[in-house]
Amino acid sequence: MKSLHGVSHHRIQRQVTRCLLALLLLCLSCGPVFAAQVRTVLVLGDSLSAAYGLSAPQGWVALTAQRMKTSHPGWRVVNASISGETTAGGAARIDRELTRVKPSVVVIELGANDGLRGLSLAQSRANLDRMLRAASMAKARVLLIGMRLPPNYGPEYTQGFERMFVELAKKHQASLLPFLLEPIAADRNAFQADNLHPVAAAQPKLRDHVWKPLAPLLR
C-alpha cells in the first residue's frame, strides 16, 4: 500500500508541475502581446498638418510622433491629414478612419480651407460637430485646433469663424487650441512663398504649441 500511495503521490506532483509549467508558458506567451498594445493619436487635418511643401518628417505631426517615442512610448501617431481638406471632407471620412485606426485621441485640425473659401459657417460648424460627435462615440478624447482668418474677410465672418471652434469645444467638452499658427503668425520668415504654409524651421514651434494641450490627453 505504501508503494501504491507513493506512486499516486508522484503522479499528483507531476500533474501539478505540468499545470504550473503550462501556466508559466501561457503567461510568457501573453506578455509580448500585452506589451505590443499601443494607443493611437489620430490627426485629421489639412495641408498645415500634412507638411505641405516639406518632406513628411519635417512637419509638426511627425515631430510630435518623434517626441512621443521618448516621452510616451506606449503611443503612436497616425497622420491622416490631406492637403486641401475641408471640414466636409473630414466629416465624410472620419467614421472610416475611426474604424481603421481605433484611436484613443483624435486631433482635428480642419476649417482653414473653409474659411479661406468663404464657405458657410453654419455648414462648417455642422461638419465639425459631426466629427466631434463621432470621435466621442468612439470613446476617443479630442483636441480641436482652431484657426484665424485675415481681416479682409470682414469682422462678422472672421469673428464667427473663431467663435465656432470655441463653442464647439465647449459643447463637446473637447480640449481646444484656439490658433495653430499663433507662435509664428507675426513672422513673415516663418512662412513659405505662399505666405500660408510654415517653413521647416517653424515646425518645432508648432509641435511645442500643440504639445501643451495634447500631452494631458495621453494619460
- Catalytic residue at 175? no
Q: Which three cell numbers stand for residue 13?
A: 506532483
Could you write out the three-class secondary structure of 68-99?
A: HHHHCCCEEEEECCCCCCCHHHHHHHHHHHHH
- Active-site residue, from 3, 29, 55, 194: 194
- C-alpha 75/C-alpha 56 separation (Å) is 19
187 is catalytic: no
- CA 120, CA 61: separation in Å to the nearest integer? 28
For 56, phi then psi, to 5°, come to -50, -40
DSSP string for 101-131:
H--SEEEEE--HHHHHTT--HHHHHHHHHHH
Whether 124 sits among the annotated catalytic residues: the reply is no
User: Among residues 46, 47, 124, 209, which one is catalytic?
Assistant: 47
Give dist(CA 127, CA 80) in Å, integer.
17
Q: How far apart are CA 205 and CA 180, in angstroms?
A: 10
Of 91, 180, 97, residue with least CA distance to 144: 180
Alpha-carbon distances, residue 97 vs 84, 90, 91, 94, 175 (angstroms): 18, 10, 10, 5, 20
Active-site hit among 46, 81, 114, 197: 197
Please give the positions annotated as active site.
47, 194, 197
